[in-house]
A and B are shown apart, each in its own frame.
Chain A
Amino acid sequence: MPLLWYLRDEISFTGTKFGCGMALCGACTVHLNGDPVRSCQMPVGDVGDRQITTIEAMSSDRIGKAVQDAWIAEQVPQCGYCQSGQIMSATALLRVKAAPSDEDIDAALSGNICRCATYRRIRTAVHKAAQELR
């Protein structure tokens, strides 16, 4: 069973979303030992003893919290359905790159679709979170 469905259906961590099931949209992004992965493609049996972190834990993660706060400050979400995945991708980016450029952000987040097209605010919010963390 893909990790996505295990999280959502078996242990009711529904913050991680289903959007495409084919690694095309990023809605299902979680962290595997801190790295962003598409949980729809990750068999739960392959996780082993690595640590899975979901959106539900971001408020107790220093970077994740800063990202969430920036998302609120910039009023990013519209329908909101993609935003868990966006925040997970952004948090993973800031973990490895404290001051990302626009290009870094594009590269890290272009796998995350937002049909409401909140992209510009996402980008502004990532910069803002980076600044707050410095």
Chain B
Amino acid sequence: MRRLRMMIAADTASQRSMQASRRQVLAGLGGFIIALGMGGRLAHAAAIEKDAGFVPNVFIRVAHDGHVKVISSYLEMGQGTFTGLATMAAEELDVGIDQVTVEAAPADLAYANPKFGIQGTGGSTAMAGAWDKMRPAAATARAMLLTAAGKRWRVPVEQLTVERGVVHHVASGRSAGYGDFVDAAMRMAVPTTVEVKKPDQYRLLGRPGTRRIDVAAKVDGSAIYTQDQKLPDMLVAVMAHPPKLWGKVAAVDAEAALAVPGVVAVVEVPGDDDVQGGVAVLARNTWVAMRGRDALNIRWDGTKAPRIDTAEMAKRFEDLSKTPGRVALTRGKILTDRPSGGTTIEAIYHQPFLAHAPMEPMNCLVHIEGDRCTIWNGEQNHTIDQVNAAKELGIPTDHVAINQLYAGGSFGRRANPRSDFVREAVRIAREARKKGIGVPIKMVWMREDDMRMTQYRPQTVHNAVIQLDGDGKIASWHHRIVGASFTKVTAPDGIDHMLLEGIEDMPYAIPNLRLEQHNPEDTYVPTQWLRSVGHTHSAFVGETLIDEAARAAKADPYQYRRAMLLKGDPRQLGVLDLVAQRSGWGRPLAEGADGTRRARGIALQQAFGTYVAQVVEVSLHQDGSYAVDRVYCSVDCGTVINPDIVMAQIEGGTGFGLSFLRQAITIKDGAVQQGNFNDYPVLRMDAMPPVEVSIIPSTAKPTGVGEPGVPLIAPAVVNAIASLTGKSIHALPLPAEIEL
């Protein structure tokens, strides 16, 4: 608890309300620092924490005042994850959501993501993972508390009811809050089987009106992100990164930087194959560190930097796409000749590297003390970052404690499989210690670092040859994808399935299909998953090709999809029909003024187990500019936990995907050419269309909604445009003016 008090003492904000809410956040941190000190066994550690209350398992704690604390193994980066977890717990415990707080878990495999086997957030897995963990955890707590109540009152448990955390025995008129049974429950054995509620018993799950638990702190400025975290004596580190990817420092002249008042030290940060490195300037505040960085005189050694050129890469990828690749999937036998009376579609698609560009640029706060290290971070990849940080320092893994803070967006970026920015921050602190600086150090990347030295969604080329038979049906589909792997780690079969997702599981009945992959290992561009991963590029290709096939078959693209859909997957058909109906598909659209033409476009995709279909209304102006006027979206994500959050995520995902129409990261002679929002355009308010989201009721296991809203908007918009111009579009970003 000493650390906790120190952190509060460091808080110099004069606003009392702000302090109060910070204290809540920090009080949480105090808990898990202790937990890690106890070898990461939270349940045990929490039990020795003063008044931790009833700790039936690692996910739930019930305090003596009846307040419920939910421990989240997942990051809240905007997707409403904390609220979803709290809702599940509140449902099973029969408490109000206002009686629950959520605390982030420490890095510990007890909190491993059931899908990944490590503790991390991603792949839209949080709700699906928690469904089978959080609900039984909360139901167990309830069962134990009720058993305790039944014993004390000498009544059968079946006669007890609970409302807002108060246990009632109606027949005898007795009532008492959960808190009264905490001590008795603590002494009980944990039952091995409990039953969770059936859908008809839900009070909160799927019902509208449950508000997000993080919103209040996000409208008054009190929510604490890594950028905001402060510790006593903390220094801020700003990096001078190499001007070219993987460039190395040849020599540093730090004199001018050190002369900037407030600069404390200049630290060389060695780079390697995972971490860019460079030179860090440590100062009392960010601005001084920035000025110190600007005053550095660095000679860079560009000789080791590969001459990356994305334009050349595109050509090379295209050439490669014309050669056989590793076969990832084959069904039937692809046709090399056009069926009689049929049509051949040949298409080569180009899509660029993309940066995540979350509003909060990467940052990470590190404090090394002796052989222990504490990290404060919008932590998305707990156990991997923990292992990698420990390796950097040569200390045991459990000597690294990670405190998870809110993330100002991430879109996947904060979960780097190689822990790039976390390791850079740890390296700064490690090198600073060699200079006798042992204080906490917060590394703050500027927007330009976050754009030029980041990890990118891979650039790709797709090459497809589709044969339609005389009826316009797809007879054969031969598809090659060329792109660096998302993670540099491929499956044992040598295939990067992340690169193929969305194509390898297309929902259409294609009798003859062959899917090949080229994974050039020599692009030297750091790559990583971006929100919706493979679907970010595959949906654009697959769903515009289906439209192209429909156009060639002179068929309506909605009806064509319907006819081509694989039988036996009613959920695909469900979302497709619903969106067609909601959008008035087939009914004429009002023409625009001044020769503006308007059209609808449609797209369909299953991503991460969630089914989404979209229809857009697009205006194409006479000068070739376009606007997305309206979006309809249908979604089937199994059991809905919070309908408002589902809508917000699908809407937000759509907005995120709309930016793909205009974005590209390009690299010339090893240097990324974009640096900030002036040259890396993002969607702004004036271009955001209304998005109507319709949710299909379901009792299937919940699937995620953080990502599946992203991939369809680009193909749907392009399909609408192509239906007006009759010209297929095979590249993103779109030109400023569409060729009419």
A interface residues with partner B (beta carbon < 8 Å): 1-2, 5-6, 8-22, 24-25, 27, 54-56, 58-59, 68, 71-72, 75-84, 87, 105-106, 109-123
Contacts and interface: CB of A to CB of B under 8 A. Distances in A.
A87 B219 contact: yes
A12 B230 contact: yes
B644 A75 contact: yes
A76 B645 CA distance: 10
Which of A55, A68, A77 has the most C-beta atoms of chain B within 10 angstroms of its own C-beta?
A77
A69 to B, nearest CB: 9
A24 B220 CA distance: 22
Interface in B276-297: 284-288
Nearest to A4: B287
Which of B18, B215, B224, B446 has the most C-beta atoms of chain A within 10 angstroms of its own C-beta?
B215
27 contacts: A8-B227, A10-B285, A11-B13, A12-B12, A18-B286, A19-B361, A21-B676, A24-B676, A56-B18, A68-B219, A68-B220, A72-B216, A78-B79, A78-B80, A79-B409, A80-B406, A81-B408, A82-B359, A83-B218, A111-B684, A113-B682, A115-B359, A116-B655, A117-B655, A117-B683, A119-B683, A120-B690
A123 B359 contact: no
B486 interface: no
A80 B285 contact: no
Interface stretch (B38-46, B501-509, B555-563, B646-654): B646-654
Given A16-B221, A80-B223, A9 B214 contact: no
A14 B228 contact: yes
B648 A118 contact: yes
B406 A75 contact: no
Dominant secondary structure of chain B at its interface with chain A: loop
Contact of B77 (A5, A13, A79, A83): A79
Contact of B684 (A5, A9, A87, A110): A110
A56 B287 contact: no
B219 A21 contact: no
B225 interface: yes
Contacts of B225: 17, 81
Contacts of B691: 120
Given A79-B408, A80-B408, 16 more contacts: A9-B286, A13-B13, A14-B13, A14-B227, A19-B360, A19-B447, A56-B221, A59-B220, A77-B212, A78-B80, A78-B409, A79-B359, A106-B686, A113-B682, A114-B685, A116-B656
Interface string B1-39: 000000000011111011000000000000000000000
Contacts of A27: 359
B236 A9 contact: yes
A20 B447 contact: yes
Contact of A21 (B406, B446, B654): B446
The list of the 7 closest CB pairs from A to B, nearest first, reads A15-B221, A117-B655, A81-B408, A80-B218, A79-B78, A78-B78, A9-B285
B409 A115 contact: yes
Contacts of B407: 79
B211 interface: yes
A28 B408 CA distance: 14
A114 B14 contact: no
B677 interface: yes
B358 interface: yes
A120 B447 CA distance: 25
Given A24-B676, A79-B406, A80-B78, A117 B652 contact: yes
Contacts of A82: 359, 408
B673 interface: no
Contacts of A2: 287
Contact of B408 (A9, A17, A72, A87): A17
B357 interface: yes
Contact of A123 (B217, B218, B685): B685
Interface of B: 11-15, 17-18, 77-80, 211-212, 214-225, 227-228, 230, 236, 284-288, 357-361, 406-411, 444, 446-447, 644, 648-649, 651-656, 658, 676-678, 682-686, 688, 690-691
A20 B446 CA distance: 7
A11 B12 contact: yes
B227 A18 contact: yes
Nearest to A9: B285
Nearest to B234: A9
A54 B683 CA distance: 26
B644 A116 contact: no
Nearest to A59: B220
Contact of B688 (A1, A19, A117): A117
Contacts of A75: 211-212, 215, 644, 648
Nearest to B220: A59
Nearest to B642: A75
Nearest to A68: B219
A105 B215 contact: no
A115 B227 contact: no
A22 B446 CA distance: 11
Contacts of B446: 21
Contacts of A16: 221
Which of A5, A75, A78, A118 has the most C-beta atoms of chain B within 10 angstroms of its own C-beta?
A78
Contacts of A20: 447, 676-677
A55 B686 contact: no
A84 B225 CA distance: 13
Contacts of A106: 685-686
Contacts of A19: 359-361, 447
A14 B357 CA distance: 21
Given A12-B13, A117-B651, A122 B685 contact: yes
A75 to B, nearest CB: 6
B222 A15 contact: yes
A102 B654 CA distance: 20
Contacts of A112: 685
B652 A59 contact: no
A54 B79 CA distance: 26
Contact of B359 (A25, A72, A109): A25
A79 B358 contact: yes
Contacts of B15: 13, 56
Contacts of B222: 15, 56
Contacts of B360: 17, 19, 79, 81
A58 B219 CA distance: 9
Nearest to B283: A9
Contacts of A8: 227-228, 286
